[in-house]
Amino acid sequence: MGITVRTVTNGHRLTTEIGGGRHLVVMSGTAHANFKGTGGSFESDDFYVNIGPVWRQVDDVAPMAALAAWFNKGNAVNAGAAVDSCGWKAEAVAELDERIRLYVKLAVSDIDGWLYRFSYTATAIGILSPNQFSGPTDFS
């Protein structure tokens, strides 16, 4: 199915020029998933979050995600939470520009289990666009 994350907190970004018109950008943050379990076995879904600056060209990204907060409301019956995988792709935002979109597969078990947040970090190399903007989708 896939769920787009709308809330990211503690977003940080470090940018440095590495020569040849290219930049290395390190991004991190905490994404709010609010993913509820449905029973005694793992329920999983993909979560998507757009991060960082606008790029003219993304050469490569090294992404990583980890659990930041999970909770079990009542008695724990096969309770658990996991980040199963983390990857990336470039999403077009204009004719020549793109953003980095992380896709994170999360899993949670137990009928009253919640996976609230996951943290991410991503290091990217490429050419930044001159068309930078900030706003509600400018998650670092």
Instruction: Check residue 68 and give left, alpha or beta (phi > 0: left; psi -120 to 50: alpha).
Output: alpha
Plot region of 45 (φ>0 → left; ψ -120 to 50 → alpha; else → beta): beta
Asked whether the predicted pLDDT for residue 27 surpasses 90, the reply is yes
Do the domain assignments include residue 137? Answer: no
Number of domains observed in the structure of the chain: 1
Cβ–Cβ under 8 Å, residues 138 and 95: no
Distance CA 139, CA 31 (A): 9
> Which pLDDT belongs to residue 137?
47
Distance CA 96, CA 84 (A): 32
| 135 is a domain residue | no
What pTM did the predictor assign?
Answer: 0.87
36 within some domain: yes
pLDDT in tens, 60-99: 999 999 999 998 887 877 888 999 999 999 998 888 899 9
User: What is the per-residue pLDDT for 139?
Assistant: 53
| pLDDT, position 136 | 45
The predicted structure's pLDDT at residue 1? 66
Residue 34 within any structural domain of the chain: yes
Q: Domain range holding 36?
A: 3-128
What burial class does residue 102 get, using C-beta atoms within 10 Å of its C-beta: 0-12 exposed, 13-18 middle, 19+ buried?
Answer: buried
